[in-house]
Every structure is written in structure tokens, then in C-alpha cells.
Structure 1
Amino acid sequence: MSPVAGVIAPLLPESRKSGAKAPSVPGAVFNVSTSIIGAGIMSIPATLKVLGVIPAFVMIVVIARLAEISVEFLMRYTHAGDTTTYAGVMRESFGKVGSVLVQICVMITNLGCLIIYLIIIGDVLSGNQPEGSVHLGVLQQWFGIHWWNSRALVLLFTLVFILLPLVMFKRVESLRFSSAISVFLAVVFVGISSVLAIMALFEGKTNTPRLLPELDNKASFFDLFTAVPVIVTAFTFHFNVHPIGFEMQKPSDMISAARISMVLCAAIYFTIGVFGYLLFGDSIMADILINFDRNSGSAIGSLLNDVVRLSYALHLMLVFPLLNFSLRANMDEFLFPNKTVLAKDNTRFMCITLGLLAFSYMAAIAIPNIWYFFQFMGSTSAVSLGFIFPGAIALRDTRGISTARDRILASAMIVLAVVTSTIAISTNIYSLFT
């Protein structure tokens, strides 16, 4: 969930002219997988609590497969046309309205990700109190509860002294070292989480995963649909398809890379989901990092718990400026299409940058729960970018290249996306008034 590669798209033609070697499929697999695995991994374990292990596994496989098909649609129609961007292929199919819709959805998705990242950072450092239960942050466990380590002040300090200097860079290349560190920290999180679950399994301290959901009434049945948008968001990377795909020599290479990445990421998501459920059972939170505040039976266990949380919080801090970079570029292009390049206008650059940071901060304080944001994005912008728009492009078929199988898959993709999103949105609205 890191829509950043699009920022360097203008550099691609230049690199090709210089005779640079085209990236290999394994290299593209790494880029695609990095784009997919972001904050989404935090909420996947909670979907197992809602759906049960078997339905969650089925949904992860189905959504991964649909995401792969949608990538195939995008690459095929883009190479058949005269554009190299997602917005461009939508413009060729649906005119300016199509390209504007893509820009809006990318901005909503990116901004939602920034807010989610701040919420998770706040959970790690200052804890959370969902539904009356108290989960302490690392700072509160180390120093006790004080005014200076409250959620609002800690996030404000992080924003001003860590994130603001990073987002002030005007070239994305300046962030390449922090990006490399962030990938390493994500690997640390996955590795230590798996080790903790295996240790608990051998010690007999694990919880038995629920294979099927518990359905007490009609409302609980419809609640199952609220987990689907979370998985959809976790597999949404389509804003990076074109920048990655057009570095490669053949469209089939990108499709192969996407297929391998889907299998890899689905395996990682399901593994983390099962290990998370083994560790925390039904007490698992929408942000699994909150659960790592528990007291361990050993000093090593407590240290590992803190390392897990801090490594991923730092990972998100380093990814944050990359998402902000691409969001800022999209927003500037949307609001000021005829202005000079953003990097050359310091006033406009500062206003957009500070405005995005301020809005993200206020939203993260007002709604400290990532489940709601994943549901919102998965039911609106993410499902549109991942499934509805690619399916609509195949059905529109302005190039006359869709087969009967393509039209059937595209129709099924759109119907499933619209139905599940509508039910999820309706269920959330209904729960607000009951």
C-alpha cells in the first residue's frame, strides 16, 4: 500500500534512452510486493477474527486472483493505446472524467494511508483504549503515563521533528536510503512476529483459531462484509502498475511479476493472520501492534515485543514521506494543472505540504482506529482502482481486444466489487444508528 513509484515515471523514458538494462521479473516482483505490503498487514489478523480462518483464506485467494486479472487488463489496454499511465488509459476509455476519477481515487487512497500510518505510530508510542480496554504504548510502558507522552503530543512531536524534515525533500531520489531501511524493518517485523508465535506454540500458550465465523443473527452475517474491504485495500497497488510495468521490456513480464507477487503476498498475509490469531485469539485488535503491549514471561520476550512494535513504527515513519511525495504531486496536478512545476514554486510547495500534514494529524487524532479507514478506502477508492476501473476498461473495449472470457471476468469483477462494497458501507451506516 505504498503508492510512490508513480512519482518517478517521468524518468523512465530518459533511462531507456541511456541504454539502461530493463529490470528483470524478480526485480519487479520485489517492487510490486513492496508496494502491496504496507499498513494492510496490520489489519489482516483481525479479518481472521471476523471471518474465521477458512473464509479468510478463501477471500485472500479470490481477491489476489482478481487483482492479478485487473493488472492484466490494465497492461493490455495501456500497451494497445497511446498512453503510459493509469489516468491516461482511463482517459482513452472514458474521456477526461475517467482520468479525473483515477486522480481523485489515488489521492483518497494515499491520504488515507498517511492517516493510517499516523494512527499506527500513535498506537505504538502512546497506546490506545478501544472499547474500554487499555493498551499501553512503548513510551508509557517505559516511563509511565504522563502528559508529555500522550497521543496528541507524541504524534505532534513525530510530525514536526521526524516527518516534516523528510517530506521537505523535493526529489524522491533523496529518500532512497530511508526506503531501503524501511524495507529491512518490515522484514524484521514479520520475522520476529513469526518467532513469537512459534515460541508460544511450543509453550502451549497459543489460542485455537476459529475456522468459521460465529453467526448469532442477521447483523453478524452482514458484518462479515466489513472485512472484505480491508483485504481489498491490502492488495491495492494499481497506482504503481504502470511505473513498474513500463520499465520492463514486455507486458507479459509485468503480468508474470504481478502473479508471483500475489502468491507471495497472499502467503505472507495468511501466515501473519494465523500467527497473530495464535498469539492473541479473539482479543486481537484492528491494529495488531496494539496487542504487543502484553507482559511477557521473560525479559527476552518483552524485548522482542518492543522491537516488533518499534521496528514497524519506524518503518512507517520512513515510508510516510514517499506516500506524501506522490500524494502532493497528484494533488498539485489536480488543483493547479496549468501552473509551473511544483518543486520550483516554494510557496505552493510549502502550502500543500503543510496542509496535508496538518489534515493527516487531525484525522489521526479524531479517529484513532485503522479498521474504519481500511473499510472506507476498501469500499470506495481502493476497490475502484483495483477492480471497478480495470473491469470497466475491459468492458468499454475501445481497442476491440476483449475476449468473451475477458468480458465475463470484468462483469463478475465489477458486480462483486459493487455488491460487497455496498453491503459494507450500508452495514457501517446501520451500525452508527443502532
Structure 2
Amino acid sequence: MPSMKLSESHILLCRSIKQTETDASGLTPLLADFNSLENQSSRGASVSGAVFNICTTMVGAGIMSIPATIKVLRIIPAFVVIFMIAFLVEVTVDFLLRYTQSGKATTYAGLMAESFGSLGSLAVQICVMVTNLGCLIIYLIIIGDVLCGNQSGGTLHLGILQEWFGIQWWNSRAYVILFVVLLVMLPLVLLPHMNSLRRTSAISILLAIVFISSAMAIYALWKGKTQNMGLLPDFANQVSVLDLFTTVPVLVTGFGFHVNIHPIRAELGRPSDMSSAVRISLAICTAIYISIGFFGYMLFGDSIMADMLVNFDQNSDSAVGQLVNDTVRLSYSLHLALVFPVMNFSLRANIDELLFAKKPVLARDTPRFAILSCLLLGVTYIIAIVIPNIWYFFQFLGSTTVVCLSFIFPGAIVLRNVHGISARKDKVMAVLVIILAIVTSIIAIATNLWSS
């Protein structure tokens, strides 16, 4: 992924555990109330299930871009920035949780509606739809590239299936992605509740930790191919100060899960458990990003590409090396296939909230739920096949929208302070977060446009 990737952000909207009536904003809950969640015990979903779903939202397509940020920032600054962003994300998530507890809103859009009216709600819905649709299209494109290959700059890059079986009609991009969509993604997107995805989310996190990070580290150490790694940025030869800012949106989108807060909180037996789940998830994802960034940089050094998959798309000089390459690439494509339904969850909820606000809750309207799910899956598939390079368009919009969802909107809610619960330190932190988000985004987008 390029440095301005979509996060994977990020990124789900639905309901909280309390059953509320339609408020002045006209927002109606999409999912059933807590007591009607099917397959839920009296205590609701577990904290571990919430952790897996939060982590899956964060650890999306962006993990392959983390090593490139390490290359720019180098080891020490990169680790500092990762920890700093994780801290700021925890702060802004706390903002949203506290205002949700104090008000009547059950969604992120409803929370913004309480502070800024219908325009605030619409802003959240647009940002989520742009970001999530872009992410889902990118996931299918990457899966197609890994399994079926692509052609860029006149060079043909074979996919894993073509390397194994040769170029056949059945391993072309259209057929393979259709196969993955129908057999893997469709059954998962038809699950009506977030907690139903906890096991597949756990598998996706396991793939990121074991088969991607560990495989890279073990192979690098075994072959003795570790590269010299700089501790501080090389301002003399390769990096300018402005280049450092281009890494921030990559890391911000890597931690973007703010629209995932409400649907996961809705299915927890105790809403107070959400804070614990968030802290655990941030710790896990911080460790994953540091390990993948460190080992990827250790393995490829300054030759690391913006999308590390390109580095693995090379013929190895040994059977073991080729096995590692295939393992990493296959694990990554399966990881994205399991992240897909989590990202689709909020996209579907937002579209339903925008178009069918007065209809019955989505979980109780099976025909509408199934039609909307299949329609979104079909549109995503068609766009990924017809316009395989569309994600260059979404990378700039995604960086902007994810920054808004992660920092600017939560900060604005605190400054608006409609419930009168913002302390002075909260307002100071909100101002700092908003300024940081705006400045880094402007510099990053300008720098990328200038260099492109």
C-alpha cells in the first residue's frame, strides 16, 4: 500500500445496548436492542470477542505499509510516533465513550447529531462510507494481485495461483475474486451481529502475528539477511523534514477504529467493559505494528517498498525463501478476506441509517438486510474488477476522512460540550488533537501530490 493508504480503518456504525426512541435528530437504531441480540447470553458478548473485533478493524490492509514508515522515520522516532498516536487514539475514544454515556445517541452519527445537528450526522456517514467502501475495494484488489498477479509498467507480476498452476482461465482475476467473495465473504457479511465475527477476527489477528510477522523474522535471522537499520532519520541524504509528516496518516489510519466503538459496545454485557477492551486492543495492535515494521525493515532495509508485498513478489534463491514468500502473501490475502466483513458491517449500517432511518431496525428486517448486504458486495466486486487502480483516488480521501473520524470529530464534540462534561484539560487536549490532525494531513497530502 502507498504511504497514504486507507486504513483499514477503520470503522463500523450501529447501536448501543440501550433501547431508545427516535430522538430529535430523527435517528433510529439499526440493530435490535441488547435483549434481542440472537445467540447472546444474559451477560452479552465477551471482552475477548470485543478485543478481537477492535483489533481486526485496526489491523487491516495497512500493516504492509508500516515497514515503509520505519524506513522514513527510522527505529527510535517510529516507535515514539506509534506510541504517541496510540495514546491520542485512546484519548479520543474516551471522549466518544463519555459523551455516549451522557447522552441518548447510540451511534457515532447520532453523537455528532447531538452536537452539530443533521449536518454533523451526515458528515460522519459520508466519511464512513467513503473510507469503508474504499477499503473494501482495495481489499479485493490486493487479494486479486496476490492470487492472480497484475501488470504494471509493462511488467507482468504472476500471482501465487499462476506460479503454481500456470496461467489458466479459472485463475484469472475475475473468477478467483468471485470465488473468494461467494465462498468466504458472503457467508460472513450475512451474519447479523458483530459478536458473530469474533472467531474469524481472532483468526485474522493470528495470521498477522504468526504467519506474517514471525515468518519474516525467522527467515531473516535464519538466512542472516538482516539489513543495517538506522536509529534516526537520514536528513543528509534521503529524508526531508516534510517527509516525516507523510508517515503520520499511515499510522493514524492503522489505529482508526472509532466507528467500531458503538456496535461493539452495544453487544457487551457491561458498557464499562469497552474501555478495557479498547486498552487491550491498542496494546496488541501497537505490538503488532512494531514487530511487523521492525522485522520488515530488518529483512529488506532501505529497499523496502511502500507496499511490502512488492518485496515479497520476487523469486527467492531457495525453496525455503519461496515458501516464506508464499506463506506471507497467502496469509495476508486470507487476513484481508476476514477483515472484509468487519469493515462491511459499518458501511451497511451507515447506508441503511441514511436511506431508511424510519424503517424497522435492520436486524429485524431480514429481506432488507440480505438485499443490502448482497448489493454492497456485488458493487464492491464489480468496481474492483472494472477499475483495479481506483484506490489511488481513495487514498487521499481516505486519509482525510479517517483523520476526521479519529481526531477532528471527537475533538469537536468535546469543544461543543453540549452535555457540559468537558473539563478544561479535555478541551486543551481536543484543541491539540485537532491542530495536529489538520496540520499533518495538509502537509502529508501536499507532499505526496508534489512528489507524484
Normalising by structure 2, what TM-score? 0.81
1:47-69: CA deviations, max 9, x gaps? 22233222222221111111000
Offset at 1:291? 2.7
Mapping 1:118-267, distance limit 5 Å: 118-128=140-150, 135-145=157-167, 149-151=171-173, 154-156=176-178, 158-159=180-181, 161-162=182-183, 165-166=186-187, 169=190, 171-172=191-192, 176=196, 180-181=199-200, 183-193=202-212, 194-215=214-235, 220-246=240-266, 247-249=268-270, 251=272, 253-267=273-287
Question: Contact 1:49–1:277 at 8 Å: present in 2 too?
Answer: yes
Q: Which residue of 2 aligns with 1:420?
A: 440
**1:287 counterpart = 2:307:** yes
Offset at 1:219? 9.0
Residues of 2 paired with 1:351 and 1:404: CA distance? 44
1:70-125: CA deviations, max 9, x gaps? 01111111111122221222111111111111111111221122012112202211
Q: 1:274 to 1:132 in 2, by over 3 A?
A: farther
1:170-199: CA deviations, max 9, x gaps? x425994x7624532541342133133233
Residues of 1 paired with 2:216 and 2:70: CA distance? 18
Residues of 2 paired with 1:16 and 1:286: CA distance? 42
Tell me which moved more, 345-354 or 311-320.
345-354
Tell me which moved more, 77-86 or 233-242.
77-86
Tell me which moved more, 179-188 or 205-214.
179-188
Q: Which residue of 2 aligns with 1:404?
A: 424
Residues of 2 paired with 1:192 and 1:167: CA distance? 22
Residues of 2 paired with 1:71 and 1:374: CA distance? 24
Offset at 1:398? 1.2
Q: 1:130 to 1:285 in 2, by over 3 A?
A: farther
SS at 2:98's partner residue? Answer: helix
Q: Which residue of 2 aligns with 1:95?
A: 117
Normalising by structure 1, what TM-score? 0.84
Offset at 1:353? 3.7
Q: Which residue of 1 aligns with 2:322?
A: 302
Residues of 1 paired with 2:10 and 2:187: CA distance? 16
Q: 2:14 aligns with which of 2, 6, 16?
A: 6
Query: Percent sequence identity over matched residues?
Result: 52
Q: 1:332 to 1:29 in 2, by over 3 A?
A: closer
5+ residue gaps, structure 1, are none
Offset at 1:418? 0.6
SS at 1:142's partner residue? Answer: helix
Amino acid at match of 2:130: I
Q: 2:352 aligns with which of 312, 317, 332?
A: 332
| More helix, by proportion | 1
**1:366 counterpart = 2:387:** yes
Question: Contact 2:189–2:345 at 8 Å: present in 1 too?
Answer: no
Residues of 2 paired with 1:220 and 1:287: CA distance? 21
5+ residue gaps, structure 2, are 1-8, 18-30
> Size of the alignment, in residue pairs?
427
